[in-house]
Amino acid sequence: MKNIKLFYLYTARVLGTLYVEFPISVVTKAECVISRDHDEMHHGEPIEYVVFEETLRWLNKTGYIFYEHEKEKMFFGLTLTEKGLALMNVIPTSIETTSSYGDNIVKMLDKGNKKQVRKLVASILSDGAKIFPNCLEES
């Protein structure tokens, strides 16, 4: 599976979990989120683990999630930020629904429809960029 597809899938799984658990912070392990097929390696490590870690770091850096620290493919104190919660509560205009992004992610993950989940996450991040422009600063 291509990196961007994994990114969208992992983003949906993480945001969906954090939306359901909000405001309680959680600990998440890579094994609970990643796909089970490890056919591609990146510097001696399955690409799925690398994409998982980088996805959470990116979501943190862009302000959608917060975590206290990470260790050995685990993220501790993970929760939605104000920005992340606001975005998950948006009712999308790109699909016909009266449910929020958060509710739609949870429903689609329950159904196991990976293709629809990836499309929804692309829409969420696109709307997030419109709602919160210029929020990513160079480090």
In the chain, where does DSSP find H-type helix?
Answer: 3-21, 30-33, 47-61, 82-88, 101-111, 114-131
Torsion sign (Cα): 4, 90, 102, 83: positive
Residue 126: pLDDT above 60? yes
Where do the structural domains in the chain lie, given as residue ranges? 3-127
Q: pLDDT tens-digit profile of 68-100?
A: 999 988 899 999 998 888 888 766 555 566 677
Lowest mean pLDDT among 42-46, 72-76, 99-103: 42-46
Model pTM greater than 0.85?
A: no
In terms of average pLDDT, the best of 47-51, 114-118, 121-125 is 47-51
Q: How far is Cα 56 from Cα 59, in angstroms, rounded to an integer?
A: 5
Containing H/E element for 80?
A: strand 74-80
**What value does the CA radius of gyration of the chain take, rounded to a whole number of Å?**
14
At 111, list the tokens: 């159904």
